[in-house]
Structure 1
Amino acid sequence: MGVDVAINEIKKKTPTYRLGANGYTFATDPNGYVLLHPNLRPKIINFREPVTLDFLDAELEDSNKETIRRQMIDGKPGQIKIKTLIKSVDERYIDESIRTYTWTPVEGTDYSLGLVLPTYSENHIKANLSDQILQVQLPYTKDFESLLPNSFESEGHVFIAPREYCNDLELSNNNTEFLLNFIALMEKVTPDSKQCDNLLLHNLILDTGIIRQLVEKVWKNKDLNTYGFLAVFAATDGGITRVFPNKAAETWEEDPEPFNASYYRRSLDNKGYIFTAPYRSGGGELLNPENDTIGVLVSTALDITIGGKTIKPAVVGVKLDLEAWTDKFKILASNHTDNRQGSNMCGPNRVCEMDCEANSEDLLCYLVDDGGFLIMSNQKEHWNEVGKFFGVVDPNLMYALYNNSFYKRKQSFDYQSVCEQMQNSEAGAAPRGVFVPTIADFVNLAWWTSAAAWSLFQQLLYGLAYHSWFATDEVDAEGAEPKERSCVMIQTQYYFSNLSSSYNILQDCGNCSRLFHAKRINNTNLLFVVAEKLPCTSCEIEMLSQDEEEFMEENPCEELAMARYRKGPSTCFDNNNTEITSDCGRGHSFRPPLYALLFIQLLLLYPPVSAHIHSQLH
């Protein structure tokens, strides 16, 4: 026997916001399955059976994590700092980052609890605000006024993370409504109230004041159009995201909770500037550069050192106007080796200057990010494909980059996916002939009529016995199948290798050969690629894709290289002397009298039988 412990209750005890955006806790059972993990997110909520997700499937598997898993199963405590691969929230990117894993057994149970922290989350800011400052009605009036919607036009739009700052705070899916609820509550209580989470509120107030000063002293004094910016923004661990100017918020699609936003978490794990284009799948709808303003997000984390400890409490960035920055890109991507005017024209038998603007008819110039997604191109027809996987935009060139080790590929299984129900191939329609009944069929029809009558009468008796004749319960039709089914998907991500130098490479394919140049851009997640236009399309290559694919094997577990270590129970038993089993299996059953049932059945059978005998006699 056992006791069910609500996972949500355990989550409430976890100091989530003290761990930072990339810190988390997890728990495992003796089989290595996770009971608690941020990646335990079944897409079908009403599973008939609980989801069993192995720790090595919840994360990207490596030898260090195999060791961690084994020690947790064996109930041994430990700690290790490792470099490991991290999959992004949107499952498009992979980052290589440092993580410290700490684990310990839970006393009196077979379970183990783990803590994962990046180096920059080992310390956090704890706002130390005086009682006077905490009075919203006094010095902090300006800061809280900057949160009100009527200030958005002049100071930018504010998104507040939907966290449980106070017990009485009414949550809402509409962020503006949630913000108004928060302001209304702050006018009634002080942030030191016992019904509020003081750490959350104090840090929120601190961040509100800092971001407001950033708007007043920096953002308002800049002409964003001069720089080709559509917007500037800042997001903090405290839960504040401010986007300036206000109209830019109309196209802001990032999560108001910074800890759930991919750009925020990736910026913390990477140095320099992270470029992110609006994602669209290979077959997704194309953007229209003439009517749509395409923006590319550029973000970077703020490093602050206090007392020798480095923390990253915020991420700042801009949203680039693609058209304006493509013009800048073409100019910056021009390399004239002498002082002459103009450039040599490119051709099959001549060397030309690398001029992505003047030679756009002959040269392809791209900026591709670390996940293999197109960021910019000197070809105007590619502007509506920004954000697509590069293997869709230029399959030959993406294959050459992968084949020459500019990119690595990582494949993993997603055991929590859902797929549409597969159509039954055996179900179908067939031509039906015309049926002419005989006398024997009519006799049989009488028999089936009596059988149907008896069946209906039986249902009536059962309905009266269980008092459910007039009840209306929601049921599924017999044989009806749900619209979705659980399935296993193969996910594929690409990420940069360790190559950092500049390379000139010949993509050899007979008459279709072409030269290309590739170089990592320092302090960014970008790869600069220049290539000759492909003279033909007869090269046979592996078509690289980043889209998920369903794993169609009957038993996905058989694909594992070896059975994973698991620990069975230390003792087994099939009974307990103290257990009272007299009531086990007790239920309610309706037992009608046998003679009454026989009499009713004979009564129902009499008319068809007598008619049959009468026809035989005549």
Structure 2
Amino acid sequence: MMGGRGEGVGCVGGVGGRRVGVRGLGGVFEDKCKEGENEPYRGALAPALALALAPALANTHHHNIIKLSLQGNVGHLVQQHAICHGNLDYKLEDGQGPVLMTTVAMPVFSTKNETRNRGILLGVVGTDVPVSELLKTIPKYKLGIHGYAFAITNNGYILTHPDLRPLYGDGKKRRKPNYSSVDLSEVEWEDKDDTLRNAMVNRKTGTFSMEVKKSVDKGKRVLVLHNDYYYTDIKGTPFSLGVALSRGHGKFFFRGNVTVEEGLHDLEHPDVALADEWTYCNTDEHPEHRYLSQIEAIKLYLSGHEPHLQCDKELIQEVLFDAVVTAPLEAYWTSLVLNKSENSDKGVEIAYLGTRTGLSRINLFVVPDELTNQDFLTAEDKEGVFNADHFPLWYKRAAEQVPGTFVYSLPFNTGSENKSVVLASTAIQLLDERKSPIAAAVGIQMKLEFFQKKFWTASRQCAALDGKCSISCDDENINCYLIDNNGFVLVAEDYTLTGKFFGEAEGAVMSKLLQMGSFKRVTLYDYQALCWVFSESSDSGHTLLDPYFAFFSAVKWILTELVIFLVEFNLYSWWYSDLTAKGYNKGKRRKRMRKEDG
């Protein structure tokens, strides 16, 4: 996917007349906000979420502003005549990399009685708010794996969206030139008529549906979904909020109850971890809480000895329930570790589990130093862990499969290294229905070599079932492949083909599979893609520092100018060579004429 419009192919608000503006690359763009209340909307979970999230984001947006305003003794007048300017920016923080910020500012007017009517401007107060702080107000556990929230400015620019990629994909801390002006239509590009974008820019409340193609795994895989969108404006800010849910999801919400003692006992196990970027308790409000982990904050909150600690009571209740329900896995995994005959060749290295509340359980079947992929399920593996705006990739892919089936994946272009791993994951659903709520996903990480051996062994088992195999992978004239649902090679006799697209290995066979309907060609557009332009360079010193080069360059220039002058002179003379000029003396000519007349 390249270019400003990259293409790839995959298989498978204001209140009371307040003027609100957002400062972008081109200056300040303002929109006249209209006064109104949220219309009552009845339906599934998503509409309620969209309307419930808006006040939460609005409160977060104004929290620091109101605090600073009170310190400046501004009073109620500022809120009546406020202009909020939002500016997306990146700031580098030590050890954290680029952090997306939105800058909000408000004017400070004099509140004295003698100057109140003249509107004397005393100054401007503002603050930078990390977008990650806004994401903390979104209850990801309520949206679930099939939903996400996003917000845009009144210019249509994205404030936050799971598909926003403001940095270059090479892992370096470099932002793209237009990172702060990515339009919603560049991400939700299937909306050809900009129906969703225009409605949100105009600060309306409503719903919208369309079929979308979502790329995952760094654009290598595609999911074709039908999304239902619910949107509304965020009162008192220039932002609008949207919630997207896959068709058929969001109608059910699963809840469970356990005692606090049971939940804390299972939550404190060393193999349990909570999502780092999810907010179970607000530990930033008071200085004494900032060094607490989320699990420690939950324990302190449930003890009742810290009334100032703000926590999401509903989320904590669900986390405790998940900890109790998944606790038996610990004993099962431990029995497998003790029974060495089950994993004598140490092919299976990790067993993992993730739940809808951001809780994860990890069990190692080998010592940490022997792990083939030591970055898996760590902070370095961004797509493999719970983040503020998305679930892990293995969780996402498992949730989109048929219930009860496993999905396999491995790094692309593994090549001849043969030191890679294969992930096998499946989703745990509450009901035996295609659209059942996803409670969790479970899987294992195994060595690629171990997985390949299992495949070759299984390919020979037909002899024991119905006699001699009519076609055998042991035949030298036959090439056997195991490919996944997106057409990537999992197992091949040639290790260099592992992880590559099957069309690169067997183009004719892939074309036949497309004709048969086994795969479908899907075209994607990436409007955030950029093409690098490389210019040739030399390692030698600068030419101006070389006196010999400067001398010869001067001589060359003089000779060139001389040749051009001579050529132009000759051409000019040739062009005008047939013209002559004669001079006469008027006096002599008159005498000569008189003699002729006489």
Which interval holds the TM-score relative to the shorter structure?
0.5 to 0.7
The equivalent residue for 1:533 is none
Question: Displacement of 1:429 after TM fit?
Answer: 4.0
Residue 411 of structure 2 corresponds to residue 279 of structure 1: yes
Task: Tell me the secondary structure at the aligned position of residue 310 of structure 1.
Answer: coil
The equivalent residue for 1:411 is 524
* Pair 1:247–1:98, CA change in 2 (3 A): farther
The equivalent residue for 1:3 is 84
Residue 182 of structure 2 corresponds to residue 53 of structure 1: yes
Amino acid in the other structure paired with 2:184 = F
The equivalent residue for 1:87 is 215
Amino acid in the other structure paired with 1:3 = C
Cα distance in 2 for residues equivalent to 1:368 and 1:307: 27
Q: How do 1:446-465 and structure 2 match up within 5 A?
A: none
Question: Displacement of 1:105 after TM fit?
Answer: 4.2
* Pair 1:396–1:82, CA change in 2 (3 A): same
The equivalent residue for 1:146 is 269
Amino acid in the other structure paired with 1:35 = L
The equivalent residue for 2:357 is 238
Task: Tell me the secondary structure at the aligned position of residue 249 of structure 2.
Answer: helix
Cα distance in 2 for residues equivalent to 1:102 and 1:376: 43
* Pair 1:161–1:417, CA change in 2 (3 A): farther
* Pair 1:159–1:434, CA change in 2 (3 A): closer
Contact 1:93 1:370 in 2 (8 A): no
* Pair 1:418–1:197, CA change in 2 (3 A): farther
Task: Tell me the secondary structure at the aligned position of residue 195 of structure 2.
Answer: helix
The equivalent residue for 2:498 is 386
* Pair 1:27–1:141, CA change in 2 (3 A): closer
Residue 142 of structure 2 corresponds to residue 18 of structure 1: yes
Question: Displacement of 1:366 after TM fit?
Answer: 1.1
Task: Tell me the secondary structure at the aligned position of residue 103 of structure 1.
Answer: strand
Cα distance in 1 for residues equivalent to 2:510 and 2:435: 41
Question: Displacement of 1:265 after TM fit?
Answer: 1.3
Contact 1:161 1:240 in 2 (8 A): yes
| Unaligned residue ranges in structure 1 (runs of 5+) | 148-156, 171-177, 344-352, 437-618
Give the aligned length: 393
Question: Displacement of 1:93 after TM fit?
Answer: 0.9
Contact 2:166 2:175 in 1 (8 A): no
- Among 307, 311, 331, the residue aligned to 1:196: 311
Residue 253 of structure 2 corresponds to residue 124 of structure 1: yes
Question: Displacement of 1:187 after TM fit?
Answer: 5.4
Higher relative contact order (CA 8 A, sep 6+): 2
Q: How do 1:197-236 and structure 2 match up within 5 A?
A: 197-217=312-332, 220=335, 224-225=342-343, 229-236=348-355
- Among 418, 424, 428, the residue aligned to 1:298: 424
Cα distance in 1 for residues equivalent to 2:399 and 2:466: 45
The equivalent residue for 2:397 is 266
Q: How do 1:362-441 and structure 2 match up within 5 A?
A: 362-377=477-492, 379=493, 381-382=494-495, 385-398=497-510, 400-402=512-514, 406-415=519-528, 419=532, 422-423=535-536, 429=543, 432-433=547-548
- Among 313, 317, 322, the residue aligned to 2:443: 317
Identity %: 23
Task: Tell me the secondary structure at the aligned position of residue 199 of structure 1.
Answer: helix
Cα distance in 1 for residues equivalent to 2:477 and 2:238: 66
Cα distance in 1 for residues equivalent to 2:488 and 2:176: 35
Q: Alignment RMSD, CA only?
A: 4.3
Contact 2:166 2:179 in 1 (8 A): no
Cα distance in 1 for residues equivalent to 2:465 and 2:424: 34
Contact 1:167 1:195 in 2 (8 A): yes
Cα distance in 1 for residues equivalent to 2:434 and 2:483: 36
Q: How do 1:492-503 and structure 2 match up within 5 A?
A: none
Cα distance in 2 for residues equivalent to 1:218 and 1:275: 21
The equivalent residue for 2:44 is none
Cα distance in 1 for residues equivalent to 2:234 and 2:297: 39
* Pair 1:76–1:412, CA change in 2 (3 A): same
Amino acid in the other structure paired with 1:276 = Y
* Pair 1:307–1:392, CA change in 2 (3 A): closer
* Pair 1:164–1:114, CA change in 2 (3 A): closer
Residue 291 of structure 2 corresponds to residue 160 of structure 1: no
1:30-80 superposed Cα distances (whole Å, 9 cap, x missing partner): 5543233222231066667662222232135255x7432343345443324
Cα distance in 2 for residues equivalent to 1:400 and 1:306: 34
* Pair 1:334–1:51, CA change in 2 (3 A): same
Bigger drift between 263-272 and 246-255 goes to 246-255
Cα distance in 1 for residues equivalent to 2:220 and 2:422: 16
Bigger drift between 46-55 and 270-279 goes to 46-55
Contact 2:415 2:499 in 1 (8 A): no
Amino acid in the other structure paired with 1:125 = F
Contact 2:415 2:498 in 1 (8 A): no
Cα distance in 2 for residues equivalent to 1:66 and 1:434: 59
* Pair 1:266–1:28, CA change in 2 (3 A): same
Task: Tell me the secondary structure at the aligned position of residue 354 of structure 1.
Answer: coil
Cα distance in 1 for residues equivalent to 2:212 and 2:349: 35
* Pair 1:224–1:67, CA change in 2 (3 A): farther
* Pair 1:260–1:419, CA change in 2 (3 A): farther
Residue 194 of structure 2 corresponds to residue 72 of structure 1: no
Cα distance in 1 for residues equivalent to 2:501 and 2:535: 28
Question: Displacement of 1:336 after TM fit?
Answer: 6.6
TM-score for the superposition, normalised by structure 2: 0.55
Task: Tell me the secondary structure at the aligned position of residue 267 of structure 1.
Answer: helix
| Unaligned residue ranges in structure 2 (runs of 5+) | 1-20, 22-82, 87-101, 103-128, 169-173, 378-383, 552-598
TM-score for the superposition, normalised by structure 1: 0.53
* Pair 1:268–1:191, CA change in 2 (3 A): farther
Question: Displacement of 1:241 after TM fit?
Answer: 2.0
* Pair 1:14–1:160, CA change in 2 (3 A): closer
